[in-house]
Amino acid sequence: MDSPNLRLLLLLVFASAINAQDLLPHAICATTGNFTANSTYQTTLTTLLSSISTTKSEPLKYGFFNASSAVSGASQTIYVIGSCRGGKGNSTGTVIIAAATSFSAGLVIGILILLIEKRKKQQRGERIEGEVEDEINTVESLQFDFGTIRAATDNFSDSRKLGQGGFGAVYMGRLSNGLDIAVKRLSSNSSQGEVEFKNEVMLLARLQHRNLVRLLGFCLKGVERLLIYEFLPNSSLDQIIIDPVKHANLFWDTRHKIIMGVARGLLYLHEDSRLRIIHRDLKASNILLDSDMDPKISDFGMARLFELNQTQAETNQIVGTYGYMAPEYAMHGNFSVKSDVFSYGVLVLEIVSGQRNNLFHMGDDSEVLISYVWKNWKEGSISNIIDPPITSGSSIEIERCIHIGLLCVQENVARRPTMASVLLMLNSHSVTLQVPSRPAFFMHGGIESDMSSM
């Protein structure tokens, strides 16, 4: 018997434990009920109820009712609960009868509760087992042979190396079918351990979005741990920002497309996928660009999976990149979707200003990007914020992006918008923007502002 039917039977048996010795059938939905007179339903109902002897001689009425009849003493009472749920015409309705003695009702209820709980556990176990099996099958289908990847990268030749980080190196490769790939080879002392490696494989295997990097597979052999991605020819956003030639050719339309694409990718992670993912390491070097300069969020080794109704979590192990970390995370280990929003705001300010999020020189002064943008915003010197190569594009749109970036990096977590709100503000200029409050990590004259209010 399935769980809903067990619950119904439990309810009916529970009703049988009530001392209803003197109750008779009584109408709630009128004497004729909601069924056709002289129908099969009425005949069946009358037959069933007439088989129960009663101590009273009142005429039988139809509708929703309950009744009881002593068969052979008070301890052997049969209780009946029925419903006038008949259809029109000659369709047969349903009468539900629950019978139990007062003596055994408690025992029956206890047994039914155990049955229900057992069935629930079985269903949960079957569901979890099915999900695990699906994930194992998915992962197994993504596993590459180590020899295949070694051949594709010319034995991990330096000439194939695309970049180097704390996690290891990234190489370009070409499979025998001509497909270009990017291979992340984790070093043995990588900060991304086995747990993070499996985390990235499982997450990317289950996520699909045009603004997320596509995982093609992985490889595990001895100490070797490899992740194989689609190859994106335009490298990462940080490489373009620091490259004088590429930087000069990064026009506003392209920058705006990157800002929009990253926002869509984050919204998918936070709200639109079947999972809720907090990236925790969003930064320019983790934004890869395809041949059309469409952005794709990468590196999910530090990502955390939230329950759909979960809003925040905390950790003692702070991971990520300082400068992009929200203050509540960097200082207290508290993270949420708003932590990613903060990182996104920093990224937007980098894209508009053409400056990396670290100390940079403006004349004789050294500035932190967020402080520099905030100071000029407050003074109304918007042109000082905008990257000089941006010579075209809507000045209103550019200024709006700066405004949104400042809203995202506010020190007060509650004042930061969600990614859904960010996309709405980016897409619709009719949406009025709030006045941003002071950003986190505001520095003036090389001295960090007081953050004791946190």
pLDDT in tens, 291-301: 999 999 998 87
- Quick one: pLDDT band at residue 316, thresholds 50, 70, 90? low
How far is it, in rounded angstroms, from Cα 99 to Cα 105?
A: 9
Q: In this structure, how many other beta carbons lie within 10 angstroms of the beta carbon of residue 168?
A: 21
* Region at 446 (left for phi over 0; alpha for psi -120 to 50; beta for the rest): left
Question: Over 60: is that where the pLDDT of 87 sits?
Answer: no
In terms of DSSP bridges, do strands 65-70 and 77-82 run parallel, antiparallel, or are they unpaired? Answer: antiparallel
For residue 262, the model assigns a pLDDT of: 98
Domains of the chain: 18-99 (no CATH), 142-231 (3.30.200.20), 233-448 (1.10.510.10)
Question: Which residues lie across from 164 on neighbouring strands?
Answer: 169
pTM of the predicted protein model:
0.65
Question: Over 90: is that where the pLDDT of 343 sits?
Answer: yes
- Quick one: pLDDT band at residue 158, thresholds 50, 70, 90? very high
CA 250 from centre of chain: 33
**Nearest to residue 218, comparing CAs of 205, 233, 231, 207?**
205
Q: Are 193 and 166 in contact (CB under 8 A)?
A: no
Poorest-pLDDT segment among 37-51, 119-133, 152-166, 401-415: 119-133
- Quick one: pLDDT band at residue 94, thresholds 50, 70, 90? very low
How far is it, in rounded angstroms, from Cα 67 to Cα 111?
A: 24
Q: What is the pLDDT of residues 384-393, one digit of tens each?
A: 999 999 988 8
Please state the rounded mean pLDDT for residues 95-118: 58
Torsion of CA 371, 375, 378, 381, to 10 degrees: -120
- Quick one: pLDDT band at residue 97, thresholds 50, 70, 90? very low
Q: Which residues are catalytic?
A: 281
Which of 150 and 102 is assigned the larger pLDDT? Answer: 150
- Quick one: pLDDT band at residue 364, thresholds 50, 70, 90? low
Question: Over 50: is that where the pLDDT of 319 sits?
Answer: yes
